[in-house]
Amino acid sequence: MNFPRPLAVIAALALGISLLAPAGAVAKPTITMSGSTSVAPLASLLARKYLQACGHCVNFKLLQGGSDIGVADAAAGRVTIGNSSRDPKPSDPGGLVFTKIARDAVCIITNNANPIPTIDQAGVQAIFGGSVRTWSSVPGAGQRGTIDISVRTPGSGTQDAFQRIFMGTTKVFGGASQKTSNGLIQQVVKSDPAAIGYVSLFFTQGVHAVPYKGVPCTLRNAKSGQYGGSRNFYMVTRGAPKGAAKAWISWITHSAAAATVIGTDWVPLH
Amino acid sequence: MTAGGADAGQADRTDRRVELALGALSAAVLLLIAFMIVFVFSKAWPSFSHNGLAWFGPGGNVDEQLTNIFNSPADPSKYVYTLHAWPLLYATALITGVSVLLATAISLLSAMFIVEFAPAWIARILQPVVRLLAAVPSVIYGLIALLVLVPFVGNHVISDAEKESVQFVIQLDGTSVLVGVLVLTVMITPIMVAIVTDALRSVPRGWTEGAAALGVNRFRALRTVGLRAARPAIVAAAVLATARALGEAIMLSMVSGSLGFAPNPLDGVTFFFEPARTLAATIVDHADELSVKPSGQTIYAFAAVLLISSAFLSFAGWAARRSMRKYTLQAR
């Protein structure tokens, strides 16, 4: 044998891997998803139900990272489906199809020790805009001292929805702490009595969801349309969904079983 | 040498084959590094060329600038690139520098303890524990700090008066330079202890015993002879620790404030409670913006600066070790 042994081993390994990979993929299609941390819990529940319904006909792989990662990954073909909790933007790459799958409420949250009875849009803008900095000047606050604001990074769909629905043209306070996920904001608000933040309705356990304009941030109020802070969830594909992804998305948008899953914590479309 | 010439020839050929294979592998690594540097810089170039040297300077709110870059219009000719990254560079230097200094002091003292003063059974327990600590993934430190240390500092250490004194600029919620430096020090100290311990052990026994025979006590002998002989290893340990501290992203993104702010030493004690975000943490926090072209190029610019600083770091470590060669046994 005049072939260097280490190289032969590496070559054999590479050959083995390349033979194995397509064999697995042919047997069962894999749907990969990435993106919004708000959509992730819903996508994972839906995927579990779908696997039961179709007899484990596909493999799912769910990653997170924020809506913009989902959109970028879908556009670049790194994933089958990108999850987005924000509406399409003019700066998004061309050729993407946004399929609306559900609606979701964005809740303003405070620590349980500081249950604010209600807040209106001007109040949200004053606090998050940084013009009111102490809890003593917020009506109904059970807390004194400086307000600790947690917001999301610019790439987040929740940030986009919050800016559009609650803040309008008011800029968020420059000293606010920027967090990368819903869960992180929930954790910070849970452990800091002076904190305020905003999350998707699913992440309101263990914190106080502040009623907006007198309407509690609950699933029922979001479904009835009374709660003002609702936004859309999308699944994003490059071109119209094809194959296994098409079957899965149309199952989400049309089947009663999917609507039941969505109805546990989100607003079904019909 | 009783084996025949054929066997020796066979062995030579095997050696040459191994040499070739290993050489090819290391050449591949070099090629990979070169490719990485070229790739990162070509991606980062627009961000540097639009800002010039002002990229490295102070000016405005860096988070607002990042948001504006992210919200650039779709038209490539109208992309926004304006960025003054000084707060991020300053935070990187501050947090890395302070933690490496702390870690160096702590690790020298504890390595001296393990090598010279600890009873044998304590040293036997300490050494594997230190190695284990060095291998703990940083995200675990980050989680513990976020759940325990940050709320403690925010709710009990920082006074209301301190919070109010800066409330229209920033918020002191516990995520701070202090927590970042503390946790980073805990993270990098074990590596340094492990390296310095090994180095002190390899100092010939006779050297320190000679010093002891001249009448100095054990601590002084170790300090003046052992530490001096181990200096190249200490520098190597510090370089390794600095590299780890520079690259630490997840933990710092969780505990040091997620805010591009330059802490002001003139604020007194409050300085340590102020938030700061390092370059690596900024890359993690804004990784979800890569899809927007100018944002992606800006993030690659951060990566380029980190690459350059770690290259400088290894070079500085090499130069320092070289200048110390004459004092030591090992000419590494």
Enumerate residues 6+ apart whose C-beta is below 8 A from B7. none
* Residue B71: φ, ψ to 5°: -90, 25
Predicted pLDDT at A152? 92
Buried b (16+ CB within 10 A) or exposed e, B240-251: bbbbbbbebbbb
Q: For residue B37, how many C-alpha atoms fall within 13 Å in the half-sphere facing its CB?
A: 10
Count of pairs with CB atoms under 8 A, one residue in A, one in B: 120
Residue A217 and residue A229 in contact, taking contact as beta carbons nearer than 8 Å: yes
DSSP state of A119: B
For chain B, what percent of residues have pLDDT higher than 90? 47
**Across the interface, do B173 and A75 touch by the CB < 8 Å criterion?**
no
* Range B117-144 average pLDDT: 90
**Across the interface, do B292 and A90 touch by the CB < 8 Å criterion?**
no
* Residue A120: φ, ψ to 5°: -105, 175
Tell me: pLDDT of A151 over 90.
yes
Q: Where are the alpha helices (DSSP H) in chain A?
A: 5-27, 39-54, 67-76, 121-129, 157-162, 182-191, 219-224, 243-254, 256-263
- Please give the structure tokens belonging to residue A182: 């819903």
**Across the interface, do B259 and A176 touch by the CB < 8 Å criterion?**
yes
Predicted pLDDT at A26? 53
* A96-107 tens-digit pLDDT: 999 999 999 999
Nearest by Cα to B233 from B205, B188, B193: B193
Parallel/antiparallel/unpaired status of strands A81-84 and A230-238: antiparallel
Tell me: pLDDT of B214 over 70.
yes
Question: Which of B72, B171, B267 best probes binding to A when mutated, by most A CB atoms within 10 angstroms?
Answer: B171
* B134-162 tens-digit pLDDT: 888 888 998 999 999 999 998 889 888 88
* B15-48 tens-digit pLDDT: 899 999 999 999 999 999 899 999 999 999 999 9
Interatomic CA distance for residues A106 and A121, integer angstroms: 13
**In the structure, what pLDDT confidence band is assigned to residue B6 with cuts at 50, 70 and 90?**
low
One-letter amino acid identity for A12? A
**In the structure, what pLDDT confidence band is assigned to residue B5 with cuts at 50, 70 and 90?**
low
Residues 12 through 41 of chain A touching chain B, CB cutoff 8 Å? none
**In the structure, what pLDDT confidence band is assigned to residue A6 with cuts at 50, 70 and 90?**
very low
Nearest by Cα to B127 from B208, B204, B200, B183: B200
Interatomic CA distance for residues A249 and A230, integer angstroms: 22
Asked which of A67-71, A199-203, B73-77 is least confident by mean pLDDT, the reply is B73-77
Separation in Å, CA of B316 to nearest CA in chain A: 35
CA distances from A176 to A187, A212, B31, B176 (A): 16, 21, 43, 13
**Across the interface, do A153 and B167 touch by the CB < 8 Å criterion?**
no
Contacts of A65 in chain B (CB under 8 A): 287-288
Phi-psi region of A56 (alpha: psi -120 to 50; beta: other; left: phi over 0): left
Enumerate residues 6+ apart whose C-beta is below 8 A from B140. none
Block residue for tokens 């919620």:
B173
**Across the interface, do B288 and A178 touch by the CB < 8 Å criterion?**
no
Asked which of A16-20, A118-122, A221-225, A236-240 is least confident by mean pLDDT, the reply is A16-20
Question: How far, rounded to the nearest angstrom, does the alpha carbon of residue B249 sit from its chain's CA centroid?
Answer: 10
User: Domain B86-331: which topology?
Assistant: MetI-like fold (1.10.3720)
Sign for the pseudo-dihedral over CA of A113, A119, A125, A130: negative
Interatomic CA distance for residues B92 and B311, integer angstroms: 16
**In the structure, what pLDDT confidence band is assigned to residue B329 with cuts at 50, 70 and 90?**
low
Long-range contacts of B230-233 (CB under 8 A, 24+ apart): B230/B196, B230/B199, B230/B200, B230/B202, B230/B203, B230/B328, B231/B324, B231/B327, B231/B328, B232/B320, B232/B321, B232/B324, B232/B325, B232/B328, B232/B330, B232/B332, B233/B195, B233/B196, B233/B198, B233/B199
One-letter amino acid identity for B40? V
Question: Which of A38, A85, A192 best probes binding to B when mutated, by most B CB atoms within 10 angstroms?
Answer: A192
Tell me: pLDDT of A149 over 90.
yes
* Range B160-179 average pLDDT: 88
Buried b (16+ CB within 10 A) or exposed e, A251-266: bbbeeeebeebbeebb
**Across the interface, do B171 and A147 touch by the CB < 8 Å criterion?**
yes
Question: Which of A34, A146, A163, A169 best probes binding to B when mutated, by most B CB atoms within 10 angstroms?
Answer: A146
Block residue for tokens 């917001």:
A151
Tell me: pLDDT of B330 over 70.
no
Q: Where are the alpha helices (DSSP H) in B148-176?
A: 150-152, 160-165
Question: Which of A191, A196, A207, A236 best probes binding to B when mutated, by most B CB atoms within 10 angstroms?
Answer: A191
Q: What is the mean pLDDT of chain A?
A: 86
Predicted pLDDT at A18? 44
**In the structure, what pLDDT confidence band is assigned to residue B209 with cuts at 50, 70 and 90?**
confident
Residue B326, exposed/middle/buried by CB under 10 A (0-12, 13-18, 19+)?
exposed
* Among the partner residues B64, B72, B285, nearest to A153 by beta-carbon distance: B285
A91 contacts chain B (CB < 8 A): yes
Nearest by Cα to B191 from B122, B119, B136, B142: B136
Predicted pLDDT at B327? 60
The strand pairing partners of A267, in sequence order, are A103
Contacts of A86 in chain B (CB under 8 A): none
* Range A113-142 average pLDDT: 92
What SS3 state is found at A77?
A: coil
| H/E run at residue A232 | strand A230-238
**Across the interface, do B257 and A133 touch by the CB < 8 Å criterion?**
no
- Please give the structure tokens belonging to residue B78: 């109208």
First to last CA, chain A: 69
Contacts of B284 in chain A (CB under 8 A): 180
Interatomic CA distance for residues A104 and A106, integer angstroms: 7
Q: What is the domain partition of chain B in residue ranges? A: 3-78, 86-331
A134 contacts chain B (CB < 8 A): yes
Interatomic CA distance for residues B225 and A200, integer angstroms: 62
- Please give the structure tokens belonging to residue A114: 């500081």
Predicted pLDDT at B164? 85
Predicted pLDDT at A233? 94
DSSP state of B76: G
Residue B223, exposed/middle/buried by CB under 10 A (0-12, 13-18, 19+)?
middle
Sign for the pseudo-dihedral over CA of B141, B142, B148, B154: positive
ipTM for the complex?
0.74
User: Torsion angle of alpha carbons B63, B65, B70, B74, nearest 10°?
Assistant: 170
Predicted pLDDT at B326? 65
- Which residue does chain B place closest to A2, by CA atoms? B17
Separation in Å, CA of A202 to nearest CA in chain B: 21
Predicted pLDDT at A7? 44
A71 contacts chain B (CB < 8 A): yes
Interatomic CA distance for residues A208 and A247, integer angstroms: 39
Interatomic CA distance for residues A24 and A29, integer angstroms: 9
**Across the interface, do A154 and B172 touch by the CB < 8 Å criterion?**
no
* A8-56 tens-digit pLDDT: 444 444 444 444 444 444 578 999 999 898 899 999 999 999 999 988 8
